[in-house]
Chains A and B, each alone.
Chain A
Amino acid sequence: MNAPNSFRTGPDDNGHFGLFGGRFVAETLMPLILDLETAYNEAKADPAYKAEMDAGLKHYVGRPSPLYYAERLTEHLRAGAAPGMGAKIYFKREELNHTGSHKVNNVLGQILLARRMGKKRIIAETGAGQHGVATATLCARYGLECVVYMGAVDVARQAPNVFRMKMLGASVVPVQSGSKTLKDAMNEALRDWVTNVSDTFYCIGTVAGPHPYPAMVRDFQSIIGTETREQMLEMEGRLPDSLIACIGGGSNAMGLFHPFLDDPSVRIFGVEAAGHGIPSGQHAASLTGGRPGVLHGNRTYLLMDGDGQIAEAHSISAGLDYPGIGPEHSWLHDTGRATYISATDDEALAAFQLVAKLEGIIPALEPAHALAKVADLAPTLPEDHLMVVNLSGRGDKDIPQVADILGTSL
């Protein structure tokens, strides 16, 4: 494939990133996503919308989030590296946002848009519950009805977030169909949307779904990379040399990557969940172990069988347990602009504990996958290499699950 002049101009008018993306939805939803696209384009051009976003991000979400030099992790990894080796590691502290993850950046944008569109009822799908919590939070803030679909398996393993959503006034619907995880929650949210077309806004939590969602969610999350760029220039006087982030649907990663896509000196790594290991077949690494297919409104890499039936993903982390990936990542993968690697459940669990002990930061299990690969990559890179890892969320929600795995009863 020829490298395009710019990696930042997509998608085209039909929502395609090369082969990927598109609008593969039922006719009932088609007028709705066209309306959404129009409303989003109008909002983007309206200074009042931008002012409302900026104020919300600053005063409610608590942005900018810090870019933090993880000194002890850096030193720890240098101790095991050859002389002169061991990249300098920075954390982009998205876990410090209100509600504890990057998800709120996107939800704020979508909820302000829903208000402009006059929608009173908000639906969302959630895996780890972070997107559900962020959505429930902003619905509480703006007095909107909120219904969150969550796979029954995830309801069980992310109990603290289920309780949080209920406290915030949302109703949480456990989804019993299919594999009872994120993909099924998304199916159920789409079924709700086709049923309640007039008053309902579907707030998708990642850079997936039909156009315009992948581009819109990316735009909202790009604040992560935009801030990182400014902060790094201020702290180090130059751009970072590499970026690394975990990938469920790919929103925290895309948010960090997108502002740097046209800076060829910046290497980009996405980390998928390898579950019990790629050869086991029990993983959630769509790019590493999947093929192009069509699901949830877009064409992208999917885990599936030879008949096009979607496979059940597996990951220790509910937020990464999805058999697809945002279409723009599929395109960045095929063009070679970004490199996609994977971390297993065990590697993520080890990184979770390591970073808690060395940095006093308990990461969520999702970014623990990225941290696991930082531990692999950093020692192979020189000391003057600046590496930014997106600390997309905090680990409070994972405490009961990790305690259970480590054999501690709370």
Chain B
Amino acid sequence: MSTRIETRFKACATEGRAALVTFVTAGDPDFDTSLALLKALPAAGADIIEFGVPFTDPMADGPAIQAAGLRALAAGQTLAKTLAMVKTFREGDNTTPVVLMGYYNPVYVYGVERFLNDAKAAGVDGLVVVDLPPEEDEELCLPALAAGLDFIRLATPTTDDKRLPAVLKHTAGFVYYVSITGITGMAQADPTAVGTAVTRIKRHTALPVAVGFGVKTPESAAAIAANADGVVVGSALIDALRATLDSENRATPATLPAVTDLVGRLADAVRGVRRQAAE
């Protein structure tokens, strides 16, 4: 049986284009707005949804995602609520893959086994956990794979050819290539360097490769889409969301449309780029 992630990447490849992967933080700026946004993303053009699990100390994230996490926590978001949101989302959408992205501590404290059961039951498809390199595979990666959840590994510019096989070994679903050395939302990815890196990774794996961390605009999304199976956009969506909040960080009527509009423009840009059909 193929997974939602496989099916979606195949469908995009058949259309001769990259997938648009959108990142928003669960519970930002509040539970209801965030749930409405989650539900609105597929129609707006998101092919795959990365749902950020807020954490107080997100050491790989820049100011935009740091602030989004703190807004969500201030509004009372918890891991249990994030799982509940995915569950509600799944009642109306059984095809769009949802990947939870965050840091290990909230999962560890929730309890790995309990988390995997609840995530699977909620309809989560995969996990990206920034602070679990292959050296710590026994913590969550191997149990997740056993539970039928994809563990999506990050590969970075510092992951050389010698290390790449170890990084790819237990990766499932897709490979997330971090296009810059740095934190989210800061530097712009260089499309040429990204193209070279994606080619390099593809020599080692048959999995789709999605590229993220330095993609901000429809133009840069298009440039990356020419060379990758997926393009991840996060901080730019969060910036768009934040710009609509009132002085007390509450959602306004402009919040949802601001994010879905940008998702729409990103989707158009990504869809406008034909690529050689990925194998």
Known contacts A178-B56, A194-B182, A296-B59; decide if A304 and B133 are in contact (CB<8 Å).
Answer: no
The answer to whether B133 touches A30, judged by C-beta atoms less than 8 angstroms apart, is yes
User: Among B18-26, B106-114, B240-248, B262-270, which stretch is in contact with chain A?
Assistant: B106-114
B11 CB, min distance to chain A CBs, angstroms: 28
Residue B68 is within 8 A (CB to CB) of chain A in the complex? no
Chain B interface SS verdict (over half): loop
User: Considering the chains assembled together, what is the distance between the CA atoms of A26 and B131 in angstroms?
Assistant: 5
The answer to whether B156 touches A310, judged by C-beta atoms less than 8 angstroms apart, is no
Residue A5 is within 8 A (CB to CB) of chain B in the complex? no
Residue B160 is within 8 A (CB to CB) of chain A in the complex? yes
Residue from the list A27, A196, A309 in contact with B159, Cβ < 8 A: A27
The answer to whether A304 touches B109, judged by C-beta atoms less than 8 angstroms apart, is yes
Contacts of B57 in A (CB 8 A): 178, 183-184, 187, 295-296, 310
The answer to whether B160 touches A24, judged by C-beta atoms less than 8 angstroms apart, is no
Residue from the list A23, A30, A308 in contact with B105, Cβ < 8 A: A308
Contacts of B109 in A (CB 8 A): 291, 293, 304, 306-308
Q: Which of B44-89 contact A (CB under 8 A)?
A: 54-60, 62-63, 66, 70, 73, 78-80
Residue from the list A30, A190, A302, A307 in contact with B59, Cβ < 8 A: A190
Residue from the list B54, B63, B104, B181 in contact with A294, Cβ < 8 A: B104
B100 CB, min distance to chain A CBs, angstroms: 14
Q: Which of A161-202 contact B (CB under 8 A)?
A: 177-178, 183-184, 187, 190-191, 194-197
The answer to whether B56 touches A24, judged by C-beta atoms less than 8 angstroms apart, is no
Closest to B154 in A: A27
Residue A297 is within 8 A (CB to CB) of chain B in the complex? yes
- Complex interface bits, B154-165 against A, C-beta within 8 A gives 1, otherwise 0: 111111100100
B245 CB, min distance to chain A CBs, angstroms: 18
User: Considering the chains assembled together, what is the distance between the CA atoms of A302 and B106 in angstroms?
Assistant: 12
The answer to whether A28 touches B131, judged by C-beta atoms less than 8 angstroms apart, is no
Contacts of A29 in B (CB 8 A): 158
Residue A249 is within 8 A (CB to CB) of chain B in the complex? no
- Complex interface bits, B211-245 against A, C-beta within 8 A gives 1, otherwise 0: 00000000000000000000000000000000000
Residue B178 is within 8 A (CB to CB) of chain A in the complex? yes
Central interface residue in A22, A190, A191, by most chain B CB within 10 Å: A191
Residue A62 is within 8 A (CB to CB) of chain B in the complex? no
The answer to whether B78 touches A307, judged by C-beta atoms less than 8 angstroms apart, is yes
Contacts of A308 in B (CB 8 A): 55, 79, 105-110
Q: Which of B146-178 contact A (CB under 8 A)?
A: 153-160, 163, 167, 178
Closest to B55 in A: A309
Residue from the list A14, A27, A194, A297 in contact with B183, Cβ < 8 A: A194
Residue A31 is within 8 A (CB to CB) of chain B in the complex? yes
A115 CB, min distance to chain B CBs, angstroms: 22
The answer to whether B182 touches A195, judged by C-beta atoms less than 8 angstroms apart, is yes
Known contacts A177-B66, A191-B183, A297-B131; decide if A26 and B108 are in contact (CB<8 Å).
Answer: no
User: Considering the chains assembled together, what is the distance between the CA atoms of A284 and B109 in angstroms?
Assistant: 19
B190 CB, min distance to chain A CBs, angstroms: 15
Central interface residue in B58, B70, B130, B131, by most chain A CB within 10 Å: B131
The answer to whether A195 touches B160, judged by C-beta atoms less than 8 angstroms apart, is no
Closest to A191 in B: B183
User: Considering the chains assembled together, what is the distance between the CA atoms of A385 and B62 in angstroms?
Assistant: 53
The answer to whether A197 touches B108, judged by C-beta atoms less than 8 angstroms apart, is no
Residue A25 is within 8 A (CB to CB) of chain B in the complex? yes
A17 CB, min distance to chain B CBs, angstroms: 15
Closest to B158 in A: A31
Residue A32 is within 8 A (CB to CB) of chain B in the complex? yes
Closest to A309 in B: B56
Central interface residue in B58, B78, B109, by most chain A CB within 10 Å: B109
A372 CB, min distance to chain B CBs, angstroms: 30
Residue from the list A191, A196, A304 in contact with B60, Cβ < 8 A: A191
Residue from the list A14, A184, A294, A310 in contact with B131, Cβ < 8 A: A294
Contacts of A297 in B (CB 8 A): 131
The answer to whether B181 touches A23, judged by C-beta atoms less than 8 angstroms apart, is no
Known contacts A297-B131, A308-B79; decide if A23 and B60 are in contact (CB<8 Å).
Answer: no
Residue B278 is within 8 A (CB to CB) of chain A in the complex? no
A26-B59, A184-B57, A307-B109 given. 11 additional CB < 8 A pairs?
A23-B136, A25-B133, A26-B131, A28-B154, A194-B60, A194-B181, A195-B183, A195-B187, A294-B131, A304-B109, A309-B106
Q: Can you name 28 A-B residue pairings with CB atoms under 8 Å?
A: A22-B135, A23-B135, A23-B136, A26-B59, A26-B60, A26-B131, A27-B153, A27-B154, A28-B158, A28-B178, A28-B181, A30-B159, A31-B159, A31-B163, A178-B57, A187-B59, A190-B59, A191-B62, A195-B187, A196-B181, A197-B157, A197-B158, A293-B109, A304-B109, A307-B78, A307-B106, A308-B55, A308-B105
Q: Sorted from nearest, which 7 A-B pairs have the closest CB atoms? A: A308-B109, A308-B106, A195-B182, A28-B156, A308-B105, A24-B131, A30-B133
